[in-house]
């Protein structure tokens, strides 16, 4: 075994062990699910055994490792990446871009947007634009627009979010869960930035805060607009069985009216 390949196997083994531990799995548990011996898995993690490409992908599937990181593991083990990362402007992604656009358009007159794994805005429907009117810092709307930064920055949407403490906790919790699942250092930096923003008491608010409803079934976004207070709940949609990194990281956030008042203000009808 050459020095280069030996170092590659060691790097792969360290990554495999890190992902297994991140998922809270023991060697025995993973070995049983992957239908291999615990001894063989131990050898793979320690670098004493060389993984085949098929075995690497098999273990990555069991651990639900993101496609982007599977490529990193393949490179570490001396294999070519298996998953391409094409932009939505790539001709091969035209069907995906059209599908996302159709979903966003069909959700109007309610807002919906598509984001990538870093929470950067990829596409949005026309209903989102009016809700962003009056942003104090126009730099927050310059590409790439990070929707978490835009939402929680004191010169972004934060001053217009009536239940800001509640919504902020919700977003930071989601981000924290994502970091725990992926180990993404970029998201770690984003979390530090968001947590450094001025305290709730220091943020100018156009509406009084609203206490969480203990009988509620979701965390609403209560947003002040020119039409009055709008209340939304959101759903997240991802693509099934993706084989492209970009596609695997794409998520659609669709906002629905959380009460009849919001539906009436947006559509002119309390019941669709």
* Residue 154 · residue 203 · CB < 8 Å: yes
CATH no. for residue 58? 1.10.260.40
Neighbours of 77 (CB within 10 A): 23
User: Mean pLDDT by 10-residue block, N- to C-terminus, for the chain (272 residues)?
Assistant: 43 95 96 97 94 97 96 95 95 96 97 98 96 93 96 96 94 95 94 86 42 63 93 95 95 96 86 49
pLDDT given for residue 269 in this prediction? 62
In a domain, 259, yes or no: yes
Domain that holds residue 56: 3-76
In a domain, 49, yes or no: yes
Question: Which residue matches tokens 């629905």?
Answer: 256
Report the domain count for the chain: 2
In a domain, 255, yes or no: yes
Which of 53, 76, 99 represents a domain boundary (last residue)?
Answer: 76
Which of 76, 108, 130 represents a domain boundary (last residue)?
Answer: 76
Shared-domain flag, residues 209 and 157: yes
The candidate with the shortest Cα–Cα distance to 49, out of 60, 58, 37, is 37
In a domain, 208, yes or no: yes
* Residue 178 · residue 188 · CB < 8 Å: no
In a domain, 234, yes or no: yes
In a domain, 226, yes or no: yes
pLDDT given for residue 216 in this prediction? 58
pTM: 0.85
In a domain, 81, yes or no: no
Shared-domain flag, residues 71 and 103: no
Shared-domain flag, residues 118 and 67: no
pLDDT given for residue 227 in this prediction? 86
Question: Terminal CA-to-CA distance of the chain, rounded, Å?
Answer: 68
* Residue 223 · residue 232 · CB < 8 Å: yes
The candidate with the shortest Cα–Cα distance to 255, out of 237, 229, 228, 270, is 237
In a domain, 272, yes or no: no
Shared-domain flag, residues 114 and 38: no
pLDDT given for residue 206 in this prediction? 41
Shared-domain flag, residues 43 and 147: no
Distance CA 73, CA 71 (A): 5
């Amino acid at each position: 075994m050459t020095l280069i390949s030996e170092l590659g196997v060691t790097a792969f083994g360290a990554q495999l062990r890190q992902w297994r531990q991140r998922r809270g799995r023991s060697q025995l548990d993973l070995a049983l699910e992957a239908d291999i011996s615990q001894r063989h898995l131990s050898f793979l993690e320690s670098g004493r055994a060389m993984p085949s490409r098929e075995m690497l992908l098999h273990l990555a599937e069991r651990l639900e490792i993101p496609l982007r990181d599977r490529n990193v593991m393949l490179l570490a083990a001396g294999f070519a990446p298996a998953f391409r990362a094409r932009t939505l402007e790539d001709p091969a992604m035209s069907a995906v871009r059209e599908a996302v656009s159709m979903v966003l358009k069909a959700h109007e007159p309610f807002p919906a947007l598509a984001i990538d794994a870093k929470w950067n805005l990829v596409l949005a429907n026309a209903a989102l634009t009016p809700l962003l009117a009056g942003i104090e810092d126009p730099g927050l709307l310059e590409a790439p627009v990070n929707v978490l930064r835009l939402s929680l920055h004191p010169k972004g949407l934060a001053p217009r979010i009536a239940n800001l403490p509640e919504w902020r906790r919700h977003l930071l919790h989601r981000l924290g869960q994502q970091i725990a699942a992926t180990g993404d250092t970029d998201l770690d930096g984003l979390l530090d930035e968001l947590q450094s923003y001025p305290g709730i008491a220091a943020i100018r608010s156009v509406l009084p805060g609203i206490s969480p409803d203990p009988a509620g079934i979701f965390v609403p976004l209560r947003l002040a607009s020119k039409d009055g207070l709008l209340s939304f709940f959101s759903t997240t949609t991802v693509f099934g069985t993706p084989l492209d990194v970009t596609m695997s990281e794409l998520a659609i956030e669709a906002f629905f009216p959380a009460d009849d008042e919001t539906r009436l203000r947006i559509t002119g009808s309390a019941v669709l």
